[in-house]
Amino acid sequence: MTRTPSPEAVPPPKIPPSPEAVPSLEVTGLAYAYPDGHQALFGVDLTVAPGERVALLGPNGAGKTTLVLHLNGILSGGVGSVAVAGLAVEKRNLAEIRRRVGIVFQDPDDQLFMPTVREDVAFGPAAAGLRGAELAQRVQEALEQVGMAGFADRPPHHLSFGQRRRVAVATVLAMRPEILVLDEPSSNLDPASRRELAEILRSLDVTVLMVTHDLPYALELCSRSVVLSEGVIAADGRTQDLLCDDALMRAHRLELPFGFDPRSVTVA
């Protein structure tokens, strides 16, 4: 005798999620202690949709860099999970993850290690298989984007901090990542370079997570902000709303520059 399952027992058909439904970044319950025992993250949940630009705010020592270093598996071994475009950040996926996620480190000296600027910017695309004229073109474009094309043959360690930061941004742009993570990108940039970097970020069709203490920059570039404080997400909302919340700002040591009124800024 054949048994007909009751309607309740029939599993719903598996519909594959549409690409837009898969978050660019999905961090779930992430907790992490450094090998010396210092715990920096205490259960972080963060979802970023494709194409979103999100600012990650928070005081010194909040865990921002620690979180960023989990996004392409530089740090691992804690509790919880991280996925990038639906791909779990774990050893077997790291090559693919690192192609998709470009991280501009807080310290450009962690990013630049070749004898010349050109070789540093070529390093990633060459490792991904680009050669010859295509590679040269990719390097040239990335250096032009950050206004450093005239420095291609210089050793990175002879450049100023701001110039090294711009080259560090170029090394990541040259990879054309889907997700761009920048750890304090505007620090040490002169006002023109800061504005030019904002224009680059706005022009790219990528997901951006930007750690910054530069709150006007966050307001200008990111409609959404997340506040990380003492290793947990303390707030997540519209950047303008968060910056206008005096109690929240004080509680997490966030301060606006003298004379800056976030209410007076018209944002998209």
Ligand X SMILES: Nc1ncnc2c1ncn2[C@@H]1O[C@H](COP(=O)(O)OP(=O)(O)OP(=O)(O)O)[C@@H](O)[C@H]1O
Near ligand X by CB under 6 A: residue from 63, 73, 102, 185: 63
36 binds ligand X (CB under 6 A): yes
**Site track 86-115 with Mg ion (rule: CB under 5 A), x = hit:** --------------------x---------
Question: Are the C-beta atoms of residues 205 and 50 closer than 8 Å to each other?
Answer: no
**258 Cβ partners below 8 Å, 6+ apart?**
none
**Site track 25-64 with Mg ion (rule: CB under 5 A), x = hit:** ---------------------------------------x
> Residue 123 phi/psi, 5° resolution?
-55, -50
CB of 69 to ligand X, least distance (A): 8
Task: Give, to the nearest 10 degrees, the angle between helix 161-173 and helix 191-203.
Answer: 10
Which of 65/72 has CB closer to Mg ion?
A: 65
Beta bridge partners of 48: 25
Q: Which amino acid is at 11?
A: P
**Site track 145-184 with Mg ion (rule: CB under 5 A), x = hit:** ----------------------------------------
CB of 115 to ligand X, least distance (A): 28
> Residue 70 has which token pair?
């989990």
66 binds Mg ion (CB under 5 A): no
> Residue 169 has which token pair?
């941004």
* Cα distances (angstroms) measured from residue 43 to each of 82, 86, 235, 237: 12, 20, 14, 19
166 binds ligand X (CB under 6 A): no
Segment 77 to 106, residues that bind ligand X, using CB under 6 A: 106
What CA–CA distance (Å, rounded) separates 132 from 194? Answer: 32
Q: Which stretch binds ligand X (CB under 6 A): 58-66, 77-85, 174-182, 186-194?
A: 58-66
Question: Are the C-beta atoms of residues 225 and 31 closer than 8 Å to each other?
Answer: no
Binding site for Mg ion (CB under 5 A): 64-65, 106
Residues that bind ligand X in the complex, under the rule CB under 6 A: 34, 36, 38, 40, 58, 60-66, 106
